[in-house]
A and B are shown apart, each in its own frame.
Chain A
């Protein structure tokens, strides 16, 4: 080969090597960076006063120095909004009374005018043809009710006392009609007897029109009120319950507080306050849902002022501040991980991993010593080695099912899922790897050590314990710690044997009988089956970061220990 060709080949191989390294590093960074950043967001984030309220009230932590003044500031900012809302929902009695009185007077006048129509009524009732008769009665009804209904229309349009109140007034008016009309009919009947059929026909004609009209007036108002209720729900989600009484009535913790994180609060502002989903009547009169800008929808009504207030006083009402919430790692979760931390998951992962290693490490080391030092070359040993090798490749879910079928159902190591069953299953999972790596480590000890030890009169066992095992220790430890990382992160074996979605942190003696939350399983659970998955995105990333952190720390520790031990052995 020419020198120049060889140089080109060397150079291109170098470039290939460096570029593949670069691609790997980039991939790792691209993969890790979002996890690190978003996961860190679970601990370091822009919090609102609601977060501090949660810490002080539910977790009984001591408040920071500025807490009380910020609390006061937020309460002051919210007061105006609440005043607007209460005024709108429960307007002053005098306003309502005024409208009610006006309508009541109009109604009374209308009802009184029925008597004036008596001749026409009798004439209409005398008509033989049923249809014609009904039509005549309807015409009379229209005449009678016209002024009242126009008043009612005006009231509904102006909605002076607020829509909820207006709806109440109109409904009250509607409800009282049948009895009042009946009274008037009796008065007419007193003058000249009317048959039962005639009375009912008249009553129907007189009641139908106003009731239908009033309903037609209240229906759109009801829809508008529903929209307001939706908006109010959004405000409650943002800020939490209005007062202590409302707070006490809330059973779910998530309803007792507003948004604890500023980014989630901004989402709520945008999606549930500034834009809402409302029901409207389409062309055929059916109700359909649609998203509208609430400022446009409530334009001209008192509600518009509330929305503007929310938008403009967002900061004052929520009092955002940057915080480091280390409780994320050490607090129990509250209300499906919406509040609090992930301590039970971390503890569960620790129990499972420690348990798995306590079982697997001694067994694996002893088996490795047997394979490396005592086993000969017989067929039986070959088969054994093959079994260990095969077991190393079995999918982890098979181990999980085996754990369920054999450990829990057959041997009944525990009545139901438990950390014990999970640990044994995980131990079986990592055992082949430990055996293999420890065997390799033992085999790689120079034969000269063995000879020297035996030559000094050490028996086989003592030469292994005193010389060979310590010399193989760095590699063995590396293999064991890396297996520990694997056991910590495996999901499939623990699904069936040990993991639950929710649960408190276990005490040490409970590990024999109780299942536990664990990081790998709960990450899956939270990302897929959680009812409010979009509200706990930060928790999902936080858990992934924690699990990654544990595994990477273990691997890093393995490298460090190995380096240190090797240095000790060599120097």
Chain B
């Protein structure tokens, strides 16, 4: 990001529990980050670090603030009129909510896949190409390359390579979601945010997308909000458990699921509520 001022992370605010994580490795860092809808506090002073190239799952019952938190990372909550934030949320050490931050540039570095597939009412080709065309005019053969690479990465190329010029709305639900993933990948983001990407899909499509997430990790930093604990256990490296706006527990997925530190985590995982 080309900002004049780069507010540094305040080391003094880093809680002791997170000291063992190398700050240089964390792409997204939250320090006492809160989100308010009017007077209602949806996210309460969260401290969190997500590591580069890893998949971080955010789980929790409905209404616990996980989607709200995720949508703040690429500032999609700006679209909500009465949403305000407090505290620090940083990408690569730079405050996302700094007044002079270029939101457009932020959103190119942090892509998003939504809960319901939302391809544009255009052709498959134009959907993928949309992001690239935003940067300026690109030569046709370059664009063709980008489209093919993105579709291959999203494991959709073989199915649609013959009908790139047909409408994207003619695809099935699972295909549309993979198209949205391809569309998000086409602009080469560093971070991919996924807000319950499989909740509207059938099990077969869900498993394909989970495989996709496994493939993409390493190249991309992925944050995935999910209702499905088993999915979180399957795909993620780290898991954060949110409850009523608070980050209750954060840790390596395996140990959080087998040996949760907090009682609420244990209750949620074992299904006593949620």
Chain A interface (Cβ within 8 Å of chain B)? 376-377, 446, 448-459, 462, 466-467, 470-471, 568-571
Contacts and interface: CB of A to CB of B under 8 A. Distances in A.
Closest A-B pairs by Cβ, 7 of them = A457-B108, A448-B118, A455-B112, A569-B121, A457-B107, A456-B131, A452-B118
Contacts of A453: 120, 130
A452 B180 contact: yes
Contact of B104 (A377, A457, A570, A571): A457
Nearest to A456: B131
A450 B79 contact: yes
A455 B76 contact: yes
A261 B116 CA distance: 69
B36 interface: no
A569 B169 contact: yes
A457 B131 CA distance: 7
B38 to A, nearest CB: 14
Contacts of A454: 76, 79, 107
B167 A462 contact: no
Contacts of B81: 376-377
Given A448-B118, A451-B114, A571-B170, A456 B79 contact: no
B76 A462 contact: no
17 contacts: A448-B114, A451-B114, A451-B118, A452-B119, A455-B74, A455-B111, A455-B184, A456-B107, A456-B108, A456-B130, A457-B105, A457-B108, A458-B130, A458-B134, A467-B130, A568-B167, A571-B166
A471 B169 CA distance: 13
Contacts of B118: 446, 448-449, 451-452
A149 B116 CA distance: 117
Contacts of A455: 74, 76, 107, 111-112, 114, 184
Contacts of A457: 104-105, 107-108, 131, 134, 187
Contacts of B178: none
B231 to A, nearest CB: 22
B183 interface: yes
Interface string B195-208: 00000000000000
A458 B167 contact: no
A462 B107 contact: no
A428 B108 CA distance: 42
Contacts of B166: 571
A571 B108 contact: no
B220 to A, nearest CB: 15
Given A455-B111, A456-B131, A456-B183, A467 B167 contact: no
A186 B139 CA distance: 124
Contacts of B183: 452, 456
Interface in B123-139: 130-131, 134
Given A455-B184, A459-B104, A570-B169, A470 B121 contact: yes
A473 to B, nearest CB: 10
Interface in B156-189: 166-167, 169-170, 180, 183-184, 187
A174 B116 CA distance: 112
A569 B126 CA distance: 13
For B74, B118, B131, the residue with the greatest tally of chain A CB atoms inside 10 Å of its CB is B118
Contact of B121 (A376, A377, A471): A471
Contacts of B170: 571
A214 B74 CA distance: 116
Contacts of A462: 134
A456 B184 CA distance: 6
A571 B122 CA distance: 9
A466 B120 CA distance: 10
Given A446-B118, A458-B104, A451 B131 contact: no
A458 B74 CA distance: 13
A462 B122 CA distance: 15
A203 to B, nearest CB: 110
A446 B117 CA distance: 12
A559 B107 CA distance: 39
Nearest to A571: B167
B120 A449 contact: yes
Contacts of B121: 449, 470-471, 569-570
A344 B104 CA distance: 54
Contacts of A451: 76, 79, 112, 114, 118
Given A458-B130, A458-B131, A470-B121, 9 more contacts: A448-B118, A449-B118, A452-B114, A455-B107, A456-B108, A457-B104, A457-B134, A467-B130, A471-B121
Interface in B234-262: none
B135 to A, nearest CB: 8
Interface string B51-66: 0000000000000000
B132 to A, nearest CB: 10
Interface in B70-124: 74, 76, 79, 81, 104-105, 107-108, 111-112, 114, 116, 118-122
Contacts of B167: 568-571
Contacts of B180: 452
A462 B111 CA distance: 17
Nearest to B105: A457
Nearest to B75: A454
A457 B118 CA distance: 15
Contacts of A571: 166-167, 169-170
Residue from B104, B121, B170 whose CB has the most chain A CB atoms within 10 Å: B121
A376 B120 CA distance: 26
A476 to B, nearest CB: 14
A466 B133 CA distance: 10
Nearest to B115: A448
Contacts of B169: 569-571
Nearest to B166: A571
Contacts of A456: 107-108, 111, 130-131, 134, 183-184, 187
Contacts of A467: 120, 130
A450 B150 CA distance: 22
Contacts of A570: 121, 167, 169
A377 B122 CA distance: 32
